[in-house]
Amino acid sequence: MIYQRSSQLFAEAEKVIPGGVNSPVRAFKGVGGTPIFVKSAKGAYLYDEDDNRLIDYINSWGPMILGHAFEPVVAAIIEKAKKGTSFGMPTELETKIAELAVSMIPNVDKIRFVNSGTEACMSAIRLARGYTKRDKIIKFSGCYHGHSDSFLIAAGSGLSTFGVPNSPGVTQGTAKDTLLANYNDVENVKALFEANRNEIAAIIVEPVAGNMGCVPPKDGFLQSLRQLCDENNTLLIFDEVMTGFRLAKGGVQELYNVKADIACFGKVIGGGLPVGAFAARNEIMNYLAPIGPVYQAGTLSGNPLAMAAGLAMLEALNNDSEIFNRLDQKTVYLEKGIQTVLTKNNIEFTINRVGSMISVHFDKNQVVDFETAKNGDNETFKKFFHGLLNEGVYIAPSAYETWFITDALTYQDLDFTINAIDLVAKTL
């Protein structure tokens, strides 16, 4: 495939945008080469500036669960745009999407809308800290909760107690309140509670991790976190920015029947517009301004275009009783296909999948946490990525990312993809 115009556009972008991109992972740093510039997208396909057609397995990193330019979402945005794009005043639409979201998410009474997953998680921990009157939080290595300061904390050794910042600009003062644990390691979490008695406001976790590739929680892991939180008067925050409205109508709380105290959302809930949200029971949500002391705000929060897109998306999901089954079946079909062709070509690999989140690691050992995720063979991944791109299949340009399956994919698309993987596997 030819990427001449994408290369030119990237060179121009680099002059005026740091690294040529507005979000780092788009820059192909992990895999080398030039990012693809998109001209348009429809259903399961991206069309780039060189007029290549690519089958899309990123789907804007999750939101486009029903495909690109999904008609009801597009129509809702156009209709709203004609009536004004932002007011900074309440609209009925905000209540409508809130009612629907609250009815779909288990264990919550109220929801507040923000503009990104980052804001949702940042606000959720402030709320948890305000509510519990404690400062520390536990996060897991390899989990990503957006780019606010408290979350940009690198993994130390397995049982490290105090995090160190992994971005300049994050102060030591902030980092010291973020305690790190290993994903799927309950003993590690217990040890942190013992070392920090009555100091931990919240555990924040991706209940199915998607930012070190897809890593499912082990049996009982989420239940143990729930129990530890109850024993220690600590809040359990599920970061469902990826999993919310994707793995089930009610996200992972519904899928594994574990209750969180606060749930964070992004991606699907905005139908492809910039939206995040966090939700909880009344006793917690009523701590927020203007009725409570914890401050949180936003000029464009609840923006009419974003709410119209989100509402159209949630309605489509809520009204389709088969959607999550269908997504599961398509993803299982893909998983089996990939397993068959990689095995046939003697490639060492592990596939992790939960619902429509799936990732391929080039290592034969199980991937259960950040350490094991790092064992994947990155050189093989790079070849795999570029090989697939050449065949017209676009997966995330990093071995640490999940593929997001969209309902717009047909079985023909899946067969095409499996065949492409077979061709590429022969070259690995």
Query: Which residues of the shown chain bind ligand PMP in the complex (CB under 6 A)?
Result: 61, 116-118, 121, 144-146, 206, 210-211, 239, 241-242, 266, 276
Task: Exactly one of 48, 177, 185, 239 is catalytic; name it.
Answer: 239
Q: Which residue's beta carbon is nearest to the bound ligand PMP?
A: 117
Distance in Å, CB of 14 to ligand PMP, minimum: 22
Active site residue 267: yes
Q: Which is nearer to ligand PMP, 3 or 28 (CB)?
A: 28
Find the catalytic residue in 144, 183, 287, 394.
Answer: 144
Residue 271 CB, nearest distance to ligand PMP (Å)?
13
Question: Which residue among 80, 267, 330, 382 is the active-site one?
Answer: 267
* Nearest residue (CB) to ligand PMP, 165 versus 210: 210
Q: Of 112 and 341, which CB lies nearer to ligand PMP in the complex structure? A: 112
Least separation in angstroms between CB 177 and ligand PMP: 19
CB of 17 to ligand PMP, least distance (A): 17
Nearer to ligand PMP, 266 or 387 (CB): 266
The pairing of strands 276-280 and 110-114 is antiparallel
Nearer to ligand PMP, 266 or 272 (CB): 266
Q: Is 369 a catalytic residue?
A: no
What is the closest distance, in whole angstroms, from the C-beta atom of residue 241 to ligand PMP in the complex? Answer: 4
CA 406 to CA 352: how far, in whole Å? 17
Tell me how far, at minimum, the Cβ of 115 lies from ligand PMP, in Å: 8
Which residue's CB is nearer to ligand PMP, number 121 or number 200? 121
| Residues identified as active-site | 144, 239, 267
